[in-house]
Structure 1
C-alpha cells in the first residue's frame, strides 16, 4: 500500500482506515501501528486493560504515539519475513528510512516482569529528518497524568499505571506529552523503548546494542514457532500470516485466546454495532484450536485446554448452563458493559463500549464448538484426562436435557431468543463427538440417552429446519429466512456435502446472500436482530462458503472465491470482521474468526485440488 504523508485516510488527517494498520504483540497485549507510523491502539499490560493509546477511537482525545519522517513521503508497510516484527518504510526525495516495531518476546513463559514496546528508526539510504510525539491518554482517555522528563528519559504517571520512555535521541517535554526531533544519515538509527514500570521494575535504557539483541531474539522466537507448522500448500504465505495473527491473540499467562484485540471498531461507520471483543469467546477460541491443530500447533490447543481446566470453566453452574459464552482472559465471568461518551468513536461511530453484556446470553452452539475442539485435541493432540472426560460427560448430560429451547444464537442477536437451526446443529455436534470419543476409547457414558438426543435433534432439523418453499435449510425452525451459519452443516458432518438438499441450500445461499464471493450473515430486514442499521459481509461466512463449495466438489468456483477473498486482505494479510460495500474493512481488527476460517478453507481446498 502507499499513502502520502499527512493524509490521514477517509476523514482528512484525523483517522486512518481500519485496514491501514499492522499488528505487533508479546502474547499479552498488542499495538496497532498505522501505515503513517502512528501507534493508535495500545492497552497495557494486557489485552483488556484500559487503553494508553486509542486515537483510532478518538483522534483528539484517545492518545497516540506519532513517529514519522518530517518531510513529504510515501510509505510501505510489511512484516519482517515469518515474524510479527513490523516494518514501516518512508520514501522521500533525499532518502529512505524505516521503523522497526516490535514487542520483545523470547519464550512463552507465563510470567514477564517487563512489558516493553521497542521502536527502532533506521536510515537505509540518504538522509531523513524525523519527528516523534508520544501522547498517552490513560484509562481510555479519562485519567490525568504527569510527566517527568530528562534528556533521554520520560516517566508518565497516572493513578492506575506508570510508563517509562527511553530514547537514544533527545526528548522534550510538552505539557502532558513528550516530543523528539532528529535527523538520520545513512546507517544511523534511533531507538525508543516504552516500558511499564512499578516498584519492582524501574526504567531501563535501551541502547542500540540492546535493541539489536532484542530484535534478533524476537525474530528467532517467531521463526522457531512458525517452523512447527505442517502446512506446505499453495497459500503458505497467507496461511502462515493468519497463524501468526492468531498466535498474537493468545494470552500466554492463561492460554486464553481473544476474539480480537480491539473494542468498538464499527461494523458500520456511524452505526451502533460497536462491541468489545477483547475477551475469550468459547466458540471463537474452540474454532481457533481446530485451526491450530490443523497446522500442527498442539501447544496452543494444550494451553487452551489448560485454561478451561485450571479455571473450572466446564464445571460452571449458571442460568445458561455449565458454560457462558465468553470469559475474561483470566477466566473471570463478570464482564459488565458500559459506554464511554467522552470518546467520539472511530469516524464518529458511537458508542464506544468496554465490557460485553452478551455474557448473559444463552448460545447453545458453544457446546458443539467446544466439545468438537476437545474431540480433535483428543484425536490429534493428547488423549484427554479422566477428569476432563467427566466434565464432558456432565456437559453432554446437561445438553440432553436443554437442547430443545430457544436461544440468542451464534450471531448474538439482541432481538430476543429464537429456535435457531445453527444452535440445534451444534448441539448435535456436541453429543455426536462425545459419542465418538466414548466409543473410540471405551469411556463410560450413558450412550443410549445420548444417542436418543442426538437422533431427536437430527430429525427435528431435517423436519423443521428445512423450508420446502426456499428449497433450503433456514435460519430458524419453521421459518423461510436464509442464514449463512448453515454453511457449517457439511463441515460438521451433519449432512453429506453432495446431498441434494444441501446442494439446493448452497444454491439458495449463493443467490440470496453471496456478492462476488462475499457472504452476508442474513438479511436484517427479513430477520430483525434488535439493532439499527446494516452491516457488511461477514468474512468467516465467506471462507465457510469456499469450504462448502470445496466439499461439494465445485472446485473451480471454490478456488476463484478463495482467491477473490484474498484480495480483501489488507497490505500485510490481515482481516477485520467484515468487508464493506466498497471493499473496506469493518469491525474489530484483526479478527480471530476470519483468520481461523481462512486456514481451514485453504487446508481443505488444497487437499481437494491435490
Structure 2
C-alpha cells in the first residue's frame, strides 16, 4: 500500500464533481487531486503530483491485506470504493452535491462497515495554493477550520462527529467500526451557505438527503439522452464525464480535470488543461447535441456569443479562456512539486493561449451550424458577430500558425488549419442559405473553392501517397483523419483511401494511433516522443466505418474500450504498455468515443435495414 501512495497510476482514479470543480479519488479511497473551489483554482489536494507536498484526504482500513474495488452507481457521478478484507468489508461513498454558485463547495464522504469489525484511519492533509502552504487549525462551533498559512488565508471546514488530532502537518483520527456503523464527513468552503432548517439537522441527515438529491439529479440528466442500443453504458459514462467537466454557471467545458500529468513519464510534456479551449468546447457541444442535450449546447452558445461581443476583430478571439471568459492564463512552473512520478516541471496556466491557431474558427462555426440546424435557430445579432469570423478566414486562410496540436516551434501552414478553414466557410454558407441571412456568399464560395484546391493539390505528397502535415512536409499527421469526418472529401475518395493506408502504416499500432511521430521527422519544439493519442484512435475508427470497413471498425472500437480504466475513464494518451498518460480524464477522448459509437450504431442500423 505504501508503494501505491508514492507511485499512483493515473488510471487508478475515479472522478467526482459539482459542475464547478472536480476531485480524483483513488482506488484506495484517497482524494489526491482537488482544485478548490473552481476548475481552474489552485489545488488544495495534489498528492497525484507530489505525495509529500501536494496534500490528500485518505480513508484507510488498517488491515494486513485489503483488496480495493471501485465503481459508479449506474448513470450517476456517485463513486463507491470498497475495502474487502478477510475480517470484514467497508464501503466508501464519495460525491459532491450540485451547487449553482462556484464558491459554494461541499464534498461528502460516507463510510459504512458492511461486515465484521474494522479499524479505520482517516488522514486529512490540505495544502493550499498548489501545495505551497500548510494550515492552522481552529475550532468553530461543531466543525474544524483549516486556515491557510499563506497570505490569502483561504479556509476549508471539516464537519464530522469524530475527534481529530494534529499529527505533524495532518489531521488524523482512528476508530474501530462494526457492521452497520456509518460515519459521515463533509468538506465545506467557508462561504457555503446552509439554510436555517438545515442547521438544526444532523450531519447524517444532510449527507443522506444530499445523496438522494445527487442520485436524482444524475439519473434525471442521463435519462434525457437520446442514445439507445449497443454501448449505451459506456456512452453514458462518457457523457457524464463531459458534463462533470462543464461549468453549470458559464456553460463552458474544460479540456481535462487536471494539470501537470505527463504525456511521457519523466519528460517535459506536462500541461495545464483546466481551461476552455474553443476547439475542445466546440467538439464537446457537438457530442452533447448528438445525444440530445440541447441545454448544454445552448449555454455554450451564449458563452461564445458573449466572447464575440467583447472583441472588435476576429483576430482578438483567443483559442482558450478561463471558464468565466477571462484570459489571465500566464504559464508558471510550480517548483516545489516534484511532478507525477518525478515528471517535472509542473505548470499552472498555459502560454498556448497566445498562439494563433486558424482551425478554431472551423470547429466553432461547425458547432454553431449544427446547433442552428438541430437545436434552435441562432439570432440575427449573433449571425452578425459570426460574419467577422468567416470574413477573417476568407482573408487569412493562408496565414501560418501553430496548428491544433499547439506546437511550440516555428509556425507553418498546417493541413488541419486549411481543412477547418474550408469548414468555416462551408458551414457559414450553409447557415446563411438556410436562414436567408445577408452574407457575401459569392466571395465565400470562391474562397471555399480556393481552399479546397489548395488542400487537394498542394498538401498531397505523391511519393507518400498521402496528405501531409503541413505545406512541403514529408510527415503524416493523424488530424488528417478529420477530412472525411467534416465531409471535405468522400471517405471513398481515392486520395483519401491512400492517405488512410499511409496513416495506418506509419501512425497506427492495432487500435492505437499516434498524432505524429518525431522519430519520423515531425517537429513540435519538444524533444521527447509521447504516447498514442486516444481521440485519434476514435477518429480512425470512424474513418474505417465510413470507408466501408465496418467490422474492422467495430473490432478496433471494442479494443479501445479495453484501454479505459476500471470506471470507463480515459486520459489523453496511452503508452504502448497500456498505461494511461496525460491529463485525466480528458474530454477529447470521451467526446471521440461518443462520436465513434454514434457512427457505428448508425451504420449497424442501416445494415440491418438493408
Which TM-score applies when normalising by structure 2? 0.95
Name 2:329's counterpart in structure 1: 335
Q: Within 2, Cα distance between the matches of 1:281 and 1:404? A: 22
**How many Å apart are 1:201 and its aligned residue?**
7.1
> Equivalent of 1:146, from 136, 141, 147?
136
Name 1:238's counterpart in structure 2: 234
**How many Å apart are 1:151 and its aligned residue?**
10
Q: Within 2, Cα distance between the matches of 1:113 and 1:135? A: 21
Q: Within 2, Cα distance between the matches of 1:527 and 1:518? A: 18
SS of the residue corresponding to residue 178 of structure 1 reads strand
Name 1:130's counterpart in structure 2: 120
1:283 aligns with 2:279: yes
Within a 5 Å distance, the mapping from 1:134-213 to structure 2 comes to 134-149=124-139, 153-158=143-148, 159-198=152-191, 207-213=203-209
Q: Within 2, Cα distance between the matches of 1:425 and 1:130? A: 57
| Contact residue 116 and residue 195 of structure 1 kept, 8 A | yes
Within a 5 Å distance, the mapping from 1:209-608 to structure 2 comes to 209-310=205-306, 312-313=307-308, 315-317=310-312, 321-525=315-519, 526-608=521-603
SS of the residue corresponding to residue 572 of structure 1 reads coil
Q: Out of 240-249 and 139-148, give the one that drifted further.
A: 139-148
SS of the residue corresponding to residue 182 of structure 1 reads strand
Name 2:69's counterpart in structure 1: 76
SS of the residue corresponding to residue 597 of structure 2 reads helix
**How many Å apart are 1:112 and its aligned residue?**
5.9
**How many Å apart are 1:405 and its aligned residue?**
1.3
Deviations 1:162-218 (A, max 9, x none): 111011322222243211111221111000110001497799786212211110000
Q: Within 2, Cα distance between the matches of 1:412 and 1:500? A: 30
Deviations 1:509-530 (A, max 9, x none): 1111000110000111311110
**How many Å apart are 1:291 and its aligned residue?**
0.4
1:67 aligns with 2:59: yes
Q: Within 2, Cα distance between the matches of 1:206 and 1:178? A: 22
> Equivalent of 2:110, from 106, 120, 142?
120
**How many Å apart are 1:152 and its aligned residue?**
6.1
**How many Å apart are 1:18 and its aligned residue?**
0.2
Q: Within 2, Cα distance between the matches of 1:78 and 1:241? A: 11
**How many Å apart are 1:478 and its aligned residue?**
2.5
**How many Å apart are 1:81 and its aligned residue?**
1.0
SS of the residue corresponding to residue 157 of structure 1 reads strand
SS of the residue corresponding to residue 65 of structure 1 reads strand
| Contact residue 563 and residue 578 of structure 2 kept, 8 A | yes
SS of the residue corresponding to residue 473 of structure 2 reads coil
Q: Out of 351-360 and 475-484, give the one that drifted further.
A: 475-484
**Structure 1 residue ranges without an equivalent (≥5):** none
Within a 5 Å distance, the mapping from 1:33-72 to structure 2 comes to 33-71=25-63, 72=65
| Contact residue 254 and residue 330 of structure 1 kept, 8 A | yes
SS of the residue corresponding to residue 251 of structure 1 reads coil
| Contact residue 44 and residue 55 of structure 2 kept, 8 A | yes
| Contact residue 169 and residue 191 of structure 1 kept, 8 A | no
Q: Within 2, Cα distance between the matches of 1:195 and 1:175? A: 23
| Contact residue 238 and residue 593 of structure 2 kept, 8 A | yes
Q: Within 2, Cα distance between the matches of 1:200 and 1:483? A: 51
Instruction: Give the length in aligned residue pairs.
Output: 597
Q: Within 2, Cα distance between the matches of 1:461 and 1:317? A: 30
**Structure 2 residue ranges without an equivalent (≥5):** 606-610
SS of the residue corresponding to residue 313 of structure 1 reads helix
**How many Å apart are 1:154 and its aligned residue?**
1.5
| Contact residue 265 and residue 275 of structure 1 kept, 8 A | yes
Name 1:104's counterpart in structure 2: 97
**How many Å apart are 1:153 and its aligned residue?**
2.8
SS of the residue corresponding to residue 190 of structure 1 reads strand
After the TM superposition, list the runs of 4 or more consecutive aligned residues in structure 1 that deviate by more than 3 angstroms.
149-152, 198-206
Residues 199 and 529 of structure 1: CA distance in aligned 2, closer, same or farther (over 3 Å): closer
**How many Å apart are 1:143 and its aligned residue?**
2.3
| Contact residue 151 and residue 170 of structure 1 kept, 8 A | no
| Contact residue 308 and residue 385 of structure 2 kept, 8 A | no
Q: Out of 192-201 and 218-227, give the one that drifted further.
A: 192-201
Name 1:17's counterpart in structure 2: 9
**How many Å apart are 1:148 and its aligned residue?**
1.7
Q: Within 2, Cα distance between the matches of 1:544 and 1:44? A: 34
Name 2:608's counterpart in structure 1: none
Deviations 1:87-137 (A, max 9, x none): 00000111111100000127xx4x366310000001112222211100000
Q: Within 1, Cα distance between the matches of 2:424 and 2:316? A: 14
Query: What's the Cα RMSD here?
Result: 1.7
Q: Within 1, Cα distance between the matches of 2:142 and 2:501? A: 64
